[in-house]
Structure formats: C-alpha cells, structure tokens
A and B are shown apart, each in its own frame.
Chain A
Amino acid sequence: MKLRRTVAFSRRALLQFRHDRRTFAFVLIMPLLMILIFGYTFGGDVKGIAIEVVNNDTGILAGTSPVLPNGLLLTQKVTDNFDIDTFSMHKNTNSSNARQIVHDGKAWAAIIFPENLTENFLTTVMTKDMSHSPKIEIYIDASNPTIAAAVIKEVTQSIQITFKELSISLNISQIEMPIVIEQVYAYGGGSTRFIDYFAPGVISFAIMMVTTMITIILFVNERRNGTLQRLLVSPASESEIVVGYALAFAVIGIIQSIVVLIAAILLFDISIVGNIFLALIVLLLLAFGHQGLGILLSAGAKNELQAIQFIPLILFPSILLAGLFWPIESIPSYLQPLSFVIPLRYGIDAERSIMLRGWAIGEIWVDIIVLVLFALLTLSASILLLKRRN
C-alpha cells in the first residue's frame, strides 16, 4: 500500500466536502441537532398532566374532634402533596362534569374525593376496621398507559405521604392504608398495553416517512431525467400533475395502511375500538400532506443523495415531538409548542383516539381539519412551485 496514493484518496474526498458546503453542513449540524433534541426530549418525566379534582368532602371542623383539635380536610392534604410539575390541576365542583371532561379528552383523569372522606378515614384509623375505608375514585383515560401509570402513581404516593404525616400526629402505627383507590376507566379499560398505544403512532409514522421519501425521490428523478420539463411543455396543468401523483400515492397509501393494520392486528393483537375506515381516511390525509411536503423538498435536492439528507430533518422532529414514543406531556414545556407545527402529531392523535378511544369524526374534527389544511397548503404550494418559471 502506497501512502501517497492513499492520502490522495483522502485528500480528494475532503476537497469534495469543501466544495459541497451543504453536505458539510449536514455532517456537522445533524449530529448536533440529534444530541440536542434527544437530550432535551428523551425519557423525561411526564409533566403537566391535565387533571380535574373534585372535592365532595367537608372535612372535620376545628374543635369538633378531640384527636384533631385543629380540624382536617383530607382532600387539601392529599392535593397539597401532589407534585406541582406532574399535574396541571383544575378544581371542579361537579363529579359528572369532571368525568365528562375526561370523556371528551380535555383532561386525562378526574380525581373524585368522596363525601365524608375525612370522617370515614378517621373512623377507620381509630377503629382499625377497614370496612369503613373511604374510596377515592380516579376516573382515568388509560388510552395512554404512560400517562395513566403516572397519574395513579402520583395519587397513590400523595395519599401514602399524607397518611404517613397524619400517622405521626395521630400517633398510630401498624395499620394498612385506610383509603382505597378505585380506578374507573374512561378509555383503555386498564388492559391497554404499550403496543396498543404504540401501534397507531407507528402506523402513522410509517405512512408519513414512506410517502415523503418516495415523493422526494420520484420528483428528484422527474427533474433530473428531464421528464418534468416534458410534462410542463405539454397541455397538462401543474395541478393535474400534482393531483395525479397524489391519487397514485393515495392508492399506494391505502394498500400500505391496510397491510400495516392487518399485521398489527394479527401479529400483535392490537385493539381497534373505533371505525377502521376512519383510521384509513386519517392516514390518507396524512399521506396527501406529506406528498406535498415531498414535492416541495424535492426542489431543494439535485439527486437522490441530497434527497436522503432530508430524512433526518423530517425524522427526528416527528419521532421526538409528535408524541410517537412518549407523551407530549413529557417533553420540556418550552419545546411543547413546537409539537403543534408537526403534522404527524395530529395524525397520531387522531389514530389513537379512533383505535383506543373509539372516537368518531365528531371528536377528532380538529385533527382532521389540521390535516386537511396541511394537505391543501403543501399541495397548493407544490403546484405554485411547478408553475414557477425563472
């Protein structure tokens, strides 16, 4: 091996980078972007979970109990022990209304403190008769097992801490928890596995990635091979070209979605509570929007190699900020607003709502509207891009 020749190869490759500043920037910026995004978003604790708290207890007034001369409102004690970062708490006076809010997907859980909670608690503690144990109801949306687990853990821990604090002032020991936590499921039934939660996200993600990349590569080839020029000289309008391709990909998207859904059902036994056709329509809307995005991005790539450089740009924000693997609530609060501009967020949200909560179009209309607008925006911009002449 001749050192001189070997160095010549290295030198030529490095000089190429010098002339291709875009690739050079990609090589430097991409790992930096990855470490920043992963570092700030990966595996954080779930925070800011929206919950409703209903207190039906009047507590024990000061001077009415010899063991608690200062009185006690157990609800206050328990909620004071909630971690302020974990919950975004809203006080509600009506149990039915609080449950409805959870049912509508506006909060993840309603924690309902019953009437005579403090009194029954005190009776149980003093008599050591567990038959009087009061029940705190957690009405929970368990379609997201990570959030459901975080809610139950936080409530349980807060009750345990409260009980420990009171044990000292009441001078009691060797007694099991005198409060029962009753979990009532709005969605998920408590049997939701991580794969059930994960599958709708992965299906949406797969459709998004494949559609975007195929469109970029196809249009890069159209430009590079000169076929696009030929089409633009024909009587075909730019909108006919874009919509024509969109329809072709719609067919591919439908086949792709059906295959992925069937595989998920057969291999992983995932539960689909809602309408599977609505799930397909959402996937199609997601595909349409990303076709438009693919056409727009293709204008920035001269060949397939440059097209590949777009992958991380689409991939990482989608993985990290759209709620694919972990809930958006676990992303640092200052990064959470970014998730609103990621279309995949709405696709995943709609798919999960359909497949896990059984929601219909009436409940996911916001997601649908955003996806329709995204598709209209990107496809219209693609048409304008093709119309552009230097």
Chain B
Amino acid sequence: MTFEQTFDTPTKIVEIQRLRKTFGKFTAVDTLDLTIDKGEIYGLLGPNGSGKTTTIKLLCGLLRPNAGTIKILGQPLPCKSIMNQVGYMPQDTAIYLDNTVHENLFFFGGIYGMTKENLEKNEQNMLEFVNLQDWRGSLVSTLSGGMKHRLSLACALIHEPNLVFLDEPTVGVDPELRATFWGYFESLVKKGITVIITTHYMDEADHCSRVGLLRQGCLIADGRPRDLKKSVGVDSLEGAFLLLAGRKKP
C-alpha cells in the first residue's frame, strides 16, 4: 500500500495532562500525563482492568474525563473537526456483517468525506494491504474471524489517517495473524502515521517504539522497551512490568 501524507501534522500528536476518569467510586485512569510524538508506535500495556481501553476511549472522545486535558493533533478535545485525521479500531471487529467487504470499506470511507475516486483508489490499496482482494464482494458474515479482523483494520485506515488508535487489535487472533498485524502496524509508522495501541500481550510490545505500563489506572513506567528492560535488569517486558508494578504500588 502507499500512504501519501499531505497533512502538516504537529510534532506532538497526543498531549495528555493530569487526566482522570472515574466510574462511581472506581478510578479507571488516575492523573495520567503523557506525550506521544509523530511517527511513534506507542503501546499502552497492562493487565485486564488496568485502564488501557478507558484511556483509548478518552483519547477518541468516546468518554469525557473527570479532570485533565487532552490535545490530539494540536487540538483540545472534544473536537469533531480533527476526527477525519483519526482512525479507530475498537476491541470488537465493529464492521457490518450483513454488508460486503466493499460496502463496508466504502461506507467507512464515505463518512470521512472521501470522494468516489479516492475511495476506489484507497479500497484497492487497502484490500492489497490486508490481503482481501479476492473477498471484495463477499458478505462479511461469511468471512473467517481473521479476515474480519483484517477488514476491521482496513476500515480504520481507508481514509488515510495521521493517527490510529487500535484497541487490543490482536486479542483472539492466532499467532500467525498477530505477526502479520504487527507487520502492518510497522509499515504504517514508516509512512509517518502515529499508532497508539493497547495490548496485554507483553511480548508484542517489543514492536513498539515506546510503551507505557499501566496498572490500576496509573502510568507506572514510560519509555522505550529496551530502556525499561534495562532499567530493572531483565530480558522481557513481562518481567519488567512485574518488577515495576511491585516497586511502584499506586
């Protein structure tokens, strides 16, 4: 695929200050400060319930914070106008099962205001990118789970966003497809697209340029995977997480 970056995007793609989100008495995200630069593949890591999905939803504008500020692509949220530069792939595949692959891609491209010519061009690129060329006219309900995941990613990318949020994109995906997905994400970053990804698979996070370790809504560490491992003298991010989580109890 070929992504042509035509936007002048700021260097700081995401700026989060003192972000806090509670649900009743439960604090899902606690005083989070974070900056993510252009072209990074940033991994939000943590066990289930650590606040990864809540953080992504706050960054997408799906949830309103109780405190703190978020700037996306230089604009404070909420801001609908920057959303045409943002791609989002939720945890669920979130595509229309009773429509074809082509219809899904055209629909999601269409709501981002793409012209028919651009849609046709990008559809072809996307189908090649996620290897679904032969399934263009197939009903999504007839596709395998892996194909649905690939289509879901294509729907998040069809409009050539500058920033992509991927919420646990590899959950329930077989190891082969997971490797393929990480190949996709790395190729996006090479084109200058910023990717923010949540995962609880620590082994995957080595693909990220930077990771943030979340535990009970708190960011307990933030840095390059290599540096985090080195800081606690272990070989794996899993080991680093366990050590850091033990040291820094929120």
Bound-state Cα–Cα, A226 to B80, Å: 19
State whether B90 touches A226 (Cβ < 8 A): yes
State whether A235 touches B92 (Cβ < 8 A): no
State whether A235 touches B81 (Cβ < 8 A): yes
Max chain B C-beta neighbours (<10 A), residue from A225, A231, A233, A390: A233
Bound-state Cα–Cα, A149 to B84, Å: 65
Task: From the candidates A230, A236, A389, name the one contacting B88 in the complex (CB within 8 A).
Answer: A230
State whether A225 touches B63 (Cβ < 8 A): no
Task: From the candidates B80, B84, B90, name the one contacting A230 in the complex (CB within 8 A).
Answer: B90
Bound-state Cα–Cα, A231 to B104, Å: 12
Bound-state Cα–Cα, A236 to B96, Å: 17
A231, closest chain B residue (CB): B111
Bound-state Cα–Cα, A237 to B155, Å: 18
The answer, yes or no, to whether A232 is at the interface (CB within 8 Å) is yes
State whether B60 touches A235 (Cβ < 8 A): no
State whether B111 touches A229 (Cβ < 8 A): no
In the bound complex, residues from chain A placing their C-beta under 8 Å from that of B23 are: 390
Given contacts A225-B92, A233-B88, A235-B81, contact A389 B112 (CB under 8 A): no
Given contacts A227-B96, A390-B63, contact A235 B90 (CB under 8 A): no
State whether B91 touches A226 (Cβ < 8 A): yes
In the bound complex, residues from chain B placing their C-beta under 8 Å from that of A230 are: 88, 90, 94, 108, 155-156
Chain B nearest CB from A26 CB (Å) reads: 26
State whether A235 touches B84 (Cβ < 8 A): yes
A interface footprint on B144-166 (CB within 8 Å = 1, 0 otherwise): 00000000000110000000010
In the bound complex, residues from chain A placing their C-beta under 8 Å from that of B112 are: 234-235
Bound-state Cα–Cα, A225 to B97, Å: 9
The answer, yes or no, to whether B10 is at the interface (CB within 8 Å) is no
State whether B108 touches A389 (Cβ < 8 A): no
In the bound complex, residues from chain A placing their C-beta under 8 Å from that of B97 are: 225
State whether B64 touches A390 (Cβ < 8 A): yes
A interface footprint on B75-94 (CB within 8 Å = 1, 0 otherwise): 00000110110101011111
In the bound complex, residues from chain B placing their C-beta under 8 Å from that of A237 are: 80
A387, closest chain B residue (CB): B78
State whether B84 touches A225 (Cβ < 8 A): no
In the bound complex, residues from chain B placing their C-beta under 8 Å from that of A226 are: 90-94
State whether A233 touches B83 (Cβ < 8 A): yes
State whether A389 touches B111 (Cβ < 8 A): no
Given contacts A226-B91, A227-B95, contact A233 B111 (CB under 8 A): no
State whether B95 touches A236 (Cβ < 8 A): no
Q: Chain B, interface size: which category? A: 20 to 34
Bound-state Cα–Cα, A226 to B60, Å: 14
A238, closest chain B residue (CB): B80
Chain A residue total in the interface (Cβ 8 A): 14
Max chain A C-beta neighbours (<10 A), residue from B94, B95, B156: B94
State whether B61 touches A233 (Cβ < 8 A): yes
Bound-state Cα–Cα, A235 to B81, Å: 6
The answer, yes or no, to whether B179 is at the interface (CB within 8 Å) is no
Chain A nearest CB from B82 CB (Å) reads: 9
Bound-state Cα–Cα, A225 to B27, Å: 26
Given contacts A225-B94, A390-B23, contact A233 B63 (CB under 8 A): no
State whether B62 touches A229 (Cβ < 8 A): yes
In the bound complex, residues from chain B placing their C-beta under 8 Å from that of A389 are: 61-64
State whether B61 touches A235 (Cβ < 8 A): no
B89, closest chain A residue (CB): A230
State whether B111 touches A236 (Cβ < 8 A): yes
The answer, yes or no, to whether B113 is at the interface (CB within 8 Å) is yes
State whether A233 touches B62 (Cβ < 8 A): yes
B interface footprint on A86-125 (CB within 8 Å = 1, 0 otherwise): 0000000000000000000000000000000000000000
Task: From the candidates B91, B94, B165, name the one contacting A227 in the complex (CB within 8 A).
Answer: B94
**Which residues of chain B from 70 to 128 have any CB-CB distance to chain A below 8 Å in the complex?**
80-81, 83-84, 86, 88, 90-97, 108, 111-113
Bound-state Cα–Cα, A237 to B80, Å: 8
- In the A-B complex, the 10 residue pairs with the smallest Cβ-Cβ separation, listed nearest first, are A226-B94, A226-B92, A233-B88, A226-B90, A235-B83, A389-B64, A236-B111, A235-B84, A233-B60, A230-B94
**Apart from the given pairs A227-B95, A233-B86, A235-B113, 11 other A-B contacts in the complex at a CB distance below 8 Å:** A225-B93, A225-B94, A225-B96, A226-B90, A229-B62, A230-B88, A232-B62, A233-B88, A233-B165, A389-B61, A389-B62
A residues apposed to B, CB below 8 Å: 225-227, 229-237, 389-390
Show 24 residue pairs from A and B whose CB-CB distance is below 8 angstroms, ordered by the A residue: A225-B97, A226-B90, A226-B92, A226-B93, A229-B90, A230-B94, A230-B108, A230-B155, A233-B60, A233-B83, A233-B88, A233-B165, A234-B83, A234-B111, A235-B81, A235-B84, A235-B111, A235-B113, A236-B111, A237-B80, A389-B63, A389-B64, A390-B23, A390-B64
